[in-house]
Amino acid sequence: MSNTPPSRRYLGAGIAGLAVATGVVAVLAASPAHASVDSISISDSNVVVGHSYTLDANLSGASIGLLVYWSDNGSSLTPVGKVPWPVGHASFGWTPSTTGQHVLTVSQGSSTKSLVVNVTDGSTPPATTTPPTTTVPPTTTAPPTTTVPPTTTVPPVTTTDPPVTTTVPPVTTTDPPVTTVPPTTVPPTTTPPVTTTPPVTTTPGGGGTGSADGLPFGL
């Protein structure tokens, strides 16, 4: 016999009956591990306060039947969630009530996507929000290694002119032999001695005053 109060037995039976009667609910409560929100978009890029727009989301994964939740700046727009229909697609009608930046988020299981829009009052064009550009660092290409060819040293051309050998034949001067003429022997000339002829002594005549040698007497 069970000690469970009748009211609890009826509540449990009601929940079980609901799960059996609405098999879709069981599928929607499946594990969200395989759900994926691929993209989110809005029907118009010029968003004005008080106007209505359609938010669309594309879904994929094995659990694309899970409930989809929408929020605006963190405030839930669908507290009870919405069943995606058609399969793989979810949409929601949204009317912004304030101007400024709105972050619209769609989630299914643990997968989420967000869209940032600027709501204006219609008097000024909306500011375009450009997502940050992801700069891919340039691929550094290593410059090719330049192989410097070895320097070929050309030896200088040495032109050696053979020495000009001029052989001057020796000048042979042949002097004729000097003929020595023997000296001519001139016989000495013999001069005959001069014969001195004694003077002729003249004896004066008649005198007797002279000397025998001709000198005056008394000298």
- In this prediction, residue 145 carries a pLDDT of 77
The pLDDT profile of the chain, 219 residues, written as one tens digit per residue, is: 444 444 333 333 333 333 333 333 333 333 445 678 999 999 999 999 999 999 999 999 877 789 999 999 999 999 889 998 888 899 999 999 999 999 999 999 889 999 999 999 988 665 555 556 656 666 667 777 777 777 777 777 766 777 776 676 676 666 666 666 666 666 666 666 666 666 666 555 554 454 555 555 454
Q: What residue ranges do the domains of the chain occupy?
A: 31-120
Which residues of the chain form beta strands (DSSP E)? 35-42, 47-48, 53-61, 68-72, 75-76, 89-94, 100-108, 111-120
Task: Specify the 3-state DSSP secondary structure of 13.
Answer: helix
pLDDT at residue number 55: 96
Q: What is the pLDDT of residue 73?
A: 96
**Residue 11 confidence (pLDDT):** 36
H or E element at residue 36: strand 35-42
pTM, to two decimals: 0.43
Closest CA to 117 of 45, 43, 37: 45
Q: Alpha-carbon distance 154 to 132, whole Å?
A: 63
Looking at CATH, the fold of the domain delimited by 31-120 is given as Immunoglobulin-like (2.60.40)
Report CA-CA distances (Å) from 120 to 51, 100, 142, 171. Answer: 10, 6, 51, 129
Q: Whose structure tokens read 């399969």?
A: 87
